[in-house]
Protein backbone atom coordinates (compact mmCIF):
# COMPACT_ATOMS: atom_id res chain seq x y z
CA UNK A 1 0.00 0.00 0.00
CA UNK A 2 2.83 2.41 0.87
CA UNK A 3 4.48 1.76 -2.48
CA UNK A 4 1.22 2.40 -4.32
CA UNK A 5 0.76 5.71 -2.49
CA UNK A 6 4.38 6.70 -3.17
CA UNK A 7 3.89 5.96 -6.88
CA UNK A 8 0.66 7.92 -6.90
CA UNK A 9 2.39 10.93 -5.35
CA UNK A 10 5.44 10.55 -7.59
CA UNK A 11 7.75 9.90 -4.64
CA UNK A 12 8.88 6.42 -5.65
CA UNK A 13 12.35 6.08 -7.10
CA UNK A 14 12.44 5.13 -10.74
CA UNK A 15 13.71 1.60 -11.36
CA UNK A 16 16.95 1.48 -13.29
CA UNK A 17 16.92 -0.26 -16.64
CA UNK A 18 20.56 -1.25 -16.40
CA UNK A 19 22.81 -2.22 -13.51
CA UNK A 20 25.08 0.76 -14.16
CA UNK A 21 22.11 3.10 -13.67
CA UNK A 22 21.48 1.90 -10.11
CA UNK A 23 22.28 4.34 -7.31
CA UNK A 24 25.51 3.67 -5.45
CA UNK A 25 24.74 3.82 -1.71
CA UNK A 26 28.23 2.94 -0.46
CA UNK A 27 31.71 2.87 -1.93
CA UNK A 28 35.07 1.97 -0.41
CA UNK A 29 38.56 1.59 -1.87
CA UNK A 30 41.94 0.34 -0.70
CA UNK A 31 45.04 0.44 -2.89
CA UNK A 32 43.97 -0.85 -6.34
CA UNK A 33 40.66 -2.44 -5.26
CA UNK A 34 37.28 -0.77 -4.87
CA UNK A 35 33.84 -2.03 -3.86
CA UNK A 36 30.49 -0.38 -4.61
CA UNK A 37 27.09 -1.26 -3.14
CA UNK A 38 24.22 -0.53 -5.53
CA UNK A 39 20.57 -0.35 -4.50
CA UNK A 40 17.70 -2.07 -6.34
CA UNK A 41 14.03 -1.37 -5.68
CA UNK A 42 12.17 -4.67 -5.87
CA UNK A 43 8.64 -4.93 -7.32
CA UNK A 44 7.30 -5.36 -3.77
CA UNK A 45 8.84 -2.01 -2.77
CA UNK A 46 11.65 -3.40 -0.61
CA UNK A 47 15.30 -2.68 -1.34
CA UNK A 48 17.94 -5.19 -2.39
CA UNK A 49 21.65 -4.64 -2.91
CA UNK A 50 24.34 -5.65 -5.38
CA UNK A 51 27.98 -5.64 -4.39
CA UNK A 52 30.52 -5.02 -7.15
CA UNK A 53 34.25 -5.22 -6.65
CA UNK A 54 36.77 -3.99 -9.17
CA UNK A 55 40.55 -4.12 -9.40
CA UNK A 56 42.63 -1.58 -11.30
CA UNK A 57 44.94 -3.29 -13.79
CA UNK A 58 47.87 -0.95 -14.39
CA UNK A 59 48.96 -2.67 -17.63
CA UNK A 60 45.55 -2.02 -19.23
CA UNK A 61 44.83 1.27 -17.42
CA UNK A 62 41.31 0.11 -16.62
CA UNK A 63 39.12 -1.23 -13.82
CA UNK A 64 38.21 -4.92 -14.12
CA UNK A 65 35.28 -6.51 -12.28
CA UNK A 66 36.40 -9.21 -9.85
CA UNK A 67 33.29 -9.57 -7.62
CA UNK A 68 29.57 -9.56 -8.41
CA UNK A 69 27.45 -10.54 -5.41
CA UNK A 70 24.00 -9.93 -3.97
CA UNK A 71 23.08 -9.09 -0.41
CA UNK A 72 21.58 -12.56 0.17
CA UNK A 73 24.82 -14.44 -0.63
CA UNK A 74 27.42 -11.98 0.65
CA UNK A 75 28.07 -13.60 4.05
CA UNK A 76 28.62 -17.04 2.49
CA UNK A 77 30.92 -15.59 -0.16
CA UNK A 78 32.99 -13.81 2.52
CA UNK A 79 33.42 -17.07 4.46
CA UNK A 80 34.54 -18.91 1.33
CA UNK A 81 36.92 -16.13 0.32
CA UNK A 82 38.49 -16.18 3.79
CA UNK A 83 39.04 -19.94 3.48
CA UNK A 84 40.62 -19.45 0.06
CA UNK A 85 42.88 -16.71 1.46
CA UNK A 86 44.06 -19.02 4.27
CA UNK A 87 44.71 -21.81 1.78
CA UNK A 88 46.76 -19.61 -0.57
CA UNK A 89 48.73 -18.23 2.40
CA UNK A 90 49.51 -21.82 3.41
CA UNK A 91 50.67 -22.59 -0.14
CA UNK A 92 52.97 -19.58 -0.10
CA UNK A 93 54.52 -20.75 3.18
CA UNK A 94 54.85 -24.31 1.84
CA UNK A 95 52.60 -25.75 4.53
CA UNK A 96 50.32 -27.60 2.09
CA UNK A 97 50.87 -29.07 -1.33
CA UNK A 98 48.90 -28.33 -4.48
CA UNK A 99 46.22 -30.80 -5.47
> Residues 9-44: pLDDT tens digits?
444 444 444 566 899 999 999 999 999 999 999 999
pLDDT, tens digit, for every residue of 72-90? 999 999 999 999 999 999 8
- The answer to whether position 74 is within a domain reads yes
- The answer to whether position 65 is within a domain reads yes
CA–CA–CA angle 14, 11, 20 (5° rounding): 20
Query: Looking at the 3D structure of the chain, how many domains does it have?
Result: 1
Distance from CA of residue 97 to its chain's centroid? 32
- The answer to whether position 98 is within a domain reads no
- The answer to whether position 40 is within a domain reads yes
Strands (E), 42-97: 47-57, 62-70
pLDDT, tens digit, for every residue of 39-77? 999 999 899 999 999 999 999 999 999 999 999 999 999
Give residue 11's pLDDT. 43
- Which structural domain, as residue segments, surrounds residue 27? 14-92
Could you tell me the pTM of the whole model? 0.66
Give residue 10's pLDDT. 46
User: Residue 88 sits in a domain of what CATH number?
Assistant: 3.10.450
Give residue 93's pLDDT. 83
- The answer to whether position 3 is within a domain reads no
- The answer to whether position 7 is within a domain reads no
- The answer to whether position 72 is within a domain reads yes
Give residue 8's pLDDT band: very low, low, confident or very high (50, 70, 90): very low
Amino acid sequence: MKQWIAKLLGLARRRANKEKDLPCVYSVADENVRVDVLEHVLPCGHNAYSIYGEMYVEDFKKWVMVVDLRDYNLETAIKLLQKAAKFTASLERGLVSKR
